[in-house]
Amino acid sequence: MWGRDVTEGSRDSSRTAQISADLRRRISEGGFAAGTRLPSEAMLSAEYGTTRSVIRGALARLARLSLVVSRPRGGWIVQAAHQTQGFARMQSFTEWASEGGRVPGGAITSRTVGPADAREAQQFRIRLGEPLLRFVRLRTLDGLPVMIERSVWAPWVAEVITVVPDDVRSTTVALAEAGIRVASTNHRIEAAAATTEDAALLGVRRSSPLLQVGRTTTTREGRLVEIGVDRYRAGAIAFEIEAGQTVRTAL
């Protein structure tokens, strides 16, 4: 009995590896496009002539490679290939996504004008309580919500930002067209819990873990343009440090 169990377990493990490799090939060759749903586990088990547990194992292997992700009540979704961005190279979200073959999108969900707090007043070198333009923007990759961008804009660029449409493709481009060229961004990465607003926009539960990236964006001359906080949905983006360089990866 024991010998048969070991043999069967070894056979299942080998079959899991074979199916995982075949699914990976089909994804890389475009048989399953990024953003689409894989056939159900029952359909895959019938196609490959095996059990659902073997299929689950194969899909779990792909998930560890960030090639697929499981969505509650949504099945297994194919994800696009990884691409990275070094922080040393200034790129907007739109430029980074487009360069990697992803489809960036998004919309401004709210705009407000509020008084500068002590930190904002110090960083922008303005009076405490001076009005500042703020907005919240939901960003998407291939139609899927991945990040909430909250920005506070320097008074000297507010005139440009005020008139951008809600579906503006890139605020960096809008600023450049007005002669304001962003040259560098500093980042601070930490964990955060989803607020009620985060949860509604990203489609996650309140208090779910998010990856938070704080930003300060300046011109080449060092003039501060924006103070921002980006919150990424778990399983969407990773930041890695390789050989001393920090890079952003789409999962």
Taking the model in full, what pTM does it have? 0.64
How far is C-alpha 162 from the chain's CA centre? 25
Q: Are residues 62 and 91 in the same domain?
A: no
Residue 104: which residues within 8 A CB-CB, separation 6 or more? 93, 94, 97, 98, 139, 140, 141, 169
Judged against a pLDDT cut of 80, whether residue 68 lies above it is answered with yes
Is-contact 55 44, C-beta < 8 A? yes
Q: Are residues 45 and 149 in the same domain?
A: no
Cβ count within 10 A of residue 6: 10
Across 22-31, 103-112, 126-135, least confident range? 22-31
pLDDT band at 1; cut points 50, 70, 90: very low
Q: Which tokens go with 173?
A: 């481009």
| pLDDT top residue among 102 and 90 | 102
The packing angle between helices 41-48 and 52-64, to 10°, is 110
How far apart, in Å, are the Cα atoms of 244 and each of 155, 204, 237?
35, 33, 19
Angle at 176 between CA 114 and CA 138, to 5 degrees: 50
CA 185, CA 192: separation in Å to the nearest integer?
21
Judged against a pLDDT cut of 90, whether residue 116 lies above it is answered with yes
pLDDT band at 33; cut points 50, 70, 90: confident
Q: Are residues 97 and 21 in the same domain?
A: no
Q: Are residues 141 and 213 in the same domain?
A: yes
CA 76, CA 66: separation in Å to the nearest integer?
12
Residue whose C-alpha is closest to residue 138's, from 199, 48, 207, 70: 199
Q: Are residues 56 and 150 in the same domain?
A: no
Across 2-16, 33-47, 186-200, 208-222, least confident range? 2-16
Helix (H, G, I), strand (E, B) or coil at 19: helix
Q: Are residues 101 and 53 in the same domain?
A: no
Residue whose C-alpha is closest to residue 141's, from 77, 70, 216: 77
Which residue among 78, 98, 116 closes a domain?
78
- Strand partners of residue 185: 217
| pLDDT top residue among 80 and 226 | 226
| pLDDT top residue among 101 and 67 | 67
Longest dimension (CA), the chain: 80
Q: What is the CATH number of the domain that holds 59?
A: 1.10.10.10
- Residue range 121-163, pLDDT digits in tens: 999 999 999 999 999 999 998 888 999 999 999 999 999 999 9
Q: Are residues 132 and 39 in the same domain?
A: no
Which residue among 23, 43, 78 closes a domain?
78
Instruction: Look up the domain containing 16 and give its range.
Output: 2-78
pLDDT at position 8: 55
Q: Are residues 69 and 98 in the same domain?
A: no
Q: Are residues 175 and 218 in the same domain?
A: yes
- The total of structural domains in the chain comes to 2
pLDDT at position 9: 57
Q: What is the CATH number of the domain that holds 151?
A: 3.40.1410.10
Average pLDDT taken over every residue of the chain: 84
Q: Are residues 209 and 178 in the same domain?
A: yes
Which residue among 49, 78, 107 closes a domain?
78
